[in-house]
Structure 1
Amino acid sequence: MRIVLAVLAMMVSLTAVAQTPENGTDYKEGEHYETLAEPVPTSTSDKIEVVEVFAYTCGHCYNFEPLIRAWKKEQKDDVAVVQTPAMWNATMEAYARGFYTAKAMELLDEVHMAVFTAVHQEGKQFRSAEQWADFLETYGADRERVLKTFNSFGITSQVRQADARVRGYKITGTPEMVVDGKYRVSSRMTGSHSEMLRVVDHLVEQIRQGAL
């Protein structure tokens, strides 16, 4: 009898472990992620879009960057990861303009983490086109082109679109992630950055299987 009870206890224990959030099988809406009342259109109709909303001035985003970099490398071809800067004020808009300027000049992959490091390790600020031009010039960018691009119509349009998306996502802090324009995930709900990524993995798989 004792042996039977021990086996049953072990089976119950194993079942409980298999259903823990860490294994991605028991994530619940309203507890581990939120469903947006009004979905935001995605920019990639043929892929599952995962948006990372970040801010260069955010210390949590700085710590999160190495994690999401490694995570992105593991994604399948049907997943599109999109970075979107948050803008709570005029200072953050300058950082967003710098982000899109670096992207337009095909330097973003090279400088993205370097901007985080400069802000959080070296105390640098990027609140003007001139400061961005000084920085990007060290990576081979033409200074005058940076200044022209920074305030161009194209960058202004991207900044406005990004701001509209973030407002639509109902973002309350950074970093946060939005899956398929419908599901918002934050570390405040999941408890940690690594768990946030596991929830995103779960949602992506559910969408891939047609369960969401």
Structure 2
Amino acid sequence: MRNLIFTAVLAAVSLFGLTAQATEYEAGKQYTELSSPVPVSQPGKIEVVELFWYGCPHCYAFEPTVNPWAEKLPADVHFVRLPAMFGGVWNVHGQLFLTLESMGVEHKVHTAVFEAIHKEGKKLATPEEMAEFLAPLGVDKDKFLSTYNSFAIKGQIEKAKKLGMAYQISGVPTMVVNGKYRFDIGSAGGPEQALQLADFLIAKERANAKVGQ
């Protein structure tokens, strides 16, 4: 009986906290609720997607804030980086990211790629230039080039394009929670505020899932 009361109190406190936060966040202001939800990549988990471009200074500036947050997310949350594909060099850099991710080395060189573009002035606009840059970081040149030009990566590019269209993004960095809620740093009020909003929407989805059980 005591356990039941304690559980009920916890539920009430959680609901109160979510309600209190809800007064600060409103669909149409800090975030947009998508009219057609987009399926998540891992059903059963709350998905948080960060859409970015390696050439975007705002995405680069967001890195020191979003990375520690993403590393501490609970087990029921799945964090995904997705390159925005708006054509030209956006697509080239997106293909770079998808290649690194496919090779399983993205987590090792992701920051270095950002710094090469924004601190060292590298363009990384051709696969050959990318391969030369990545080789000293332990990425095999031949494997990188063959993967970059592979049919599998072309399929991933098309998938990324379709997701960007489904999310109805117009710029980066943009975040999407569980395929339902889209927002950017500007609408949220800043980098830290964007992650607070993400936390709120994660809690909202977690509460919705419990109600539906």
The aligned residue for residue 166 of structure 2 is 168
Q: After the TM superposition, which residues 108-147 of structure 1 pair with which residues of structure 2 at under 5 Å, given as runs? A: 108-147=106-145
Question: How far 1:186 moved relative to its partner?
Answer: 1.1
C-alpha deviation, 1:24, in angstroms: 3.5
Aligned with 1:99 (options 97, 100, 103): 97
Give % identity. Answer: 38
Describe how 1:1-212 pairs up with structure 2 within 5 A.
Answer: 24-26=21-23, 27-210=25-208
Q: Distance in 1 between matches of 2:21 and 2:60?
A: 25
Residue 188 of structure 1: CA displacement? 2.1
How well do the aligned residues superpose, as a CA RMSD in angstroms?
1.8
CA distance in 2, matches of 1:73, 1:99: 19
Q: Partner residue of 1:10?
A: none
Q: What is the rounded CA distance, in whole Å, between the counterparts of 2:21 and 2:106 in structure 1?
A: 32
Instruction: Write out the 4+ residue segments of structure 1 that deviate beyond 4 Å after TM superposition.
Output: none
Structure ID, larger Rg: 1
Aligned partner of residue 112 in structure 2, secondary structure: helix
What secondary structure does 1:209 align onto? helix
Q: Distance in 2 between matches of 1:51 and 1:65?
A: 14
Which whole-Å CA distance do the structure 2 matches of 1:96 and 1:170 have between them? Answer: 17
Query: What is the rounded CA distance, in whole Å, between the counterparts of 1:142 and 1:56 in structure 2?
Result: 21
- CA distance, structure 2, for counterparts of residue 72 and residue 154 of structure 1: 27
Q: TM-score under structure 1 normalisation?
A: 0.86
TM-score normalised per structure 2: 0.86
CA separation in 2, counterparts of 1:73 and 1:106? 17
> Number of residues paired by the alignment?
193
Q: Gaps spanning 5+ residues in structure 2: where?
A: 1-15
